[in-house]
Amino acid sequence: MPKIVDHAARRTEIIEAVWSLIVRKGFIAVTMRELAAEAGYANGALARYFPDKDAVLRAAFQRAFDATNERARAAIGDGGGLTAFRLLCLEIMPLDEVRLAEARVVIGFWDYAAGQPELVEFYDSAMETWREEMRMYLGQARAAGELVPGRPHDRIVDAVLALTMGMQINACFSPRHNTPDRQTAVLEDFLDTISRPAF
């Protein structure tokens, strides 16, 4: 009987190997040869799962994005409004080793994808998913009277994405000034600027 191969499991193993390489050595180490060795495959055997480096790195980014969304869904549950908005932001921020590893993957993806329109479009599509979700939560917050009047939702989303993406960079390159407590304090200060005070 021919051996049954779980291709989805194999793809997951390969993506795990990509992450391991990125966290230990940085994106420069992620060649197909290095990746094959890390995953325990013969050189060239990865082609049936990922035809080239772009496909591998796209999958690595997608894994980080999906993991963030899974954590956010679990944290938010049936919630909404400003509380849900805050919880999504916290899952994007590199507040522990798992999220810091994700930040390293994302930063490496940015560097690799710059100047490659297809990868830039792929990234922008992922960010648009977050933008839509954030706008939905802000709409709920506005309806519930949680937001100060006058601040457009898009401006809030632009600011918080710049804030959280900046935290990913700062936590990787200047960790002593970007501890989890300090990151969280910065987010709370920002949220204070858009929140209607409770009376």
Low-confidence ranges of the chain (pLDDT < 70): 1-6, 29, 198-199
The two tokens of residue 114 are 């710059």
pLDDT tens figures, 102-115: 999 999 899 889 88
Q: How many CA atoms lie within 13 A of 193 on its CB side?
A: 11
pLDDT tens figures, 136-160: 999 999 999 999 999 999 999 999 9
Distance CA 151, CA 131 (A): 16
Those residues whose C-beta lies under 8 Å from the C-beta of residue 120, and which sit 6 or more positions away, are 113, 114
What local confidence, expressed as pLDDT, does residue 153 receive? 97
Question: Cα 155 to chain center, whole Å?
Answer: 20
Q: Compute how many other C-beta atoms are within 10 angstroms of the C-beta atom of residue 153.
A: 18
Question: Cα 17 to chain center, whole Å?
Answer: 18
What local confidence, expressed as pLDDT, does residue 2 receive? 46
Short-list 103, 115, 130, CA closest to 19: 103
What local confidence, expressed as pLDDT, does residue 44 receive? 78
What local confidence, expressed as pLDDT, does residue 6 receive? 67
State the first-to-last Cα distance of the chain, in angstroms, to the nearest integer.
Answer: 72
Distance CA 197, CA 4 (A): 60
Please provide residue 147's backbone torsions phi and psi, each rounded to the nearest 5 degrees: -105, 150
Cα dihedral across residues 125, 17, 12, 77: positive or negative: negative
Short-list 147, 140, 184, CA closest to 163: 184
Distance CA 104, CA 117 (A): 21
Q: Is 151 helix (H, G, I), strand (E, B) or coil?
A: coil
